[in-house]
Amino acid sequence: MTTYASIYSQGLMNGKVILVTGGGSGIGRCVAHELSALGAQVVLVGRNVEKLQTVQDEIVQDGGTVSFLVCDIRQEDAVKQTVAAVLATQGRVDGLVNNAGGQYITPLESISAKGWQAVIDTNLTGGFLMARECYLQSMQRNGGSIVNIVADMWGSMPGMGHSGAARAGMVSFTETAAVEWAHSGVRVNAVAPGYIASSGMDHYPPEVGPMFREMAKTVPLGRFGTEAETSAGIVFLLSPGAAFITGSTLRIDGARPQVRMGWPMKIAQPDAQQRDAIRPYNGFHRAVVPKVFSL
């Protein structure tokens, strides 16, 4: 049986109870698989029961321990009840991967108040509620680690200003929570993925496909990142090896934000991309190529 090819030691997460929001697809699905392969008891959280069930079935087939709960993280009472349900069955929460999120492409002048609020609620308020409840209901007494997934919003997000504002807010929340909750033995960090070849890209309309396919040319490493490369960073921040890291944001973006006007752009060519230091890491055995790249 093919299993997840994690770079980490087997048993690294043995017995740890870790919640993964947005666990039904994309990066959330990948990190759930890796954590399970390393011994964690994973709890998937999301809104789409069919997607959650599919990921649960995959992980069980691979020999992992997983359950799922349907929850809209934008609803405060639902979040409280979801965390309480995890504690009722698992007894504690050791880790939270605040991965759920979403946005749509549109210029600022076309964003309605309702659309703006929906993205803020999903990408900022929902993550805050999940983190707060995991802290109040479990981590305040037992310690733990939280990893908030943000985005490559350094220097702005033209076309997705609502998401950029929310993600920047989540970075600030991460830094504040790291200070306020440190005395309880809780670490809070963030991961900022850049251009990652994830199933999340399939949520955008087909007309943006050509733009997506050209985006690799703006990345110094000359390619998109993989879900497994992102998951590896998340798992590290959850692990004992990151015990003195808190309040930090780990960028996984191939140096894209460092590109500057006036500097001659040189990207890594295909032969260079196969050199050990930057060779794509594809440890996720169930990874699926986004449809936009298979056209």
Question: Is residue 1 situated within a structural domain?
Answer: no
What is the reported pLDDT for 1? 66
Q: What is the pLDDT of residue 33?
A: 98
Phi, psi at 239, each rounded to 5°:
-85, 165
Structural domain containing residue 44 = 17-197+226-259
Q: What does the block give as tokens for 174?
A: 């991460």
Helical (H) or strand (E) element with 19: strand 17-21
Residue 10 lies in a domain: no
Question: What was the pLDDT predicted at 210?
Answer: 76
- Give the residues across from 192 on adjacent strands: 251
Instruction: Name the nearest CA neighbour of 285 among 111, 11, 34, 21.
Output: 34
pTM of the model: 0.94
User: The domain that contains 94 carries what CATH number?
Assistant: 3.40.50.720
Residues β-bridged to residue 43: 19, 67
Residue 295 has what pLDDT?
58
**DSSP assignment string, 242-268:** GTT--S-EEEESTTGGG--TTSPP---
| Residue pLDDT, tens place only, 225-260 | 999 999 999 999 999 999 999 999 999 999 998 887
Residue 272, domain member (yes or no):
no
Alpha helices, DSSP H only, in the chain? 26-37, 49-61, 76-90, 113-120, 126-134, 140-142, 161-180, 209-214, 227-238
Instruction: Evaluate whether residue 55 is within a structural domain.
Output: yes
In a domain, 185, yes or no: yes
* 194 neighbors 252 (Cβ within 8 angstroms): yes
34 occurs within a structural domain = yes
Does residue 292 lie in a domain region?
A: no
Is residue 41 in some structural domain?
A: yes
Residue numbers in the chain where pLDDT is lower than 70 = 1, 203-204, 207-208, 294-295
pLDDT of residue 187: 98
Number of domains the chain is built from: 1
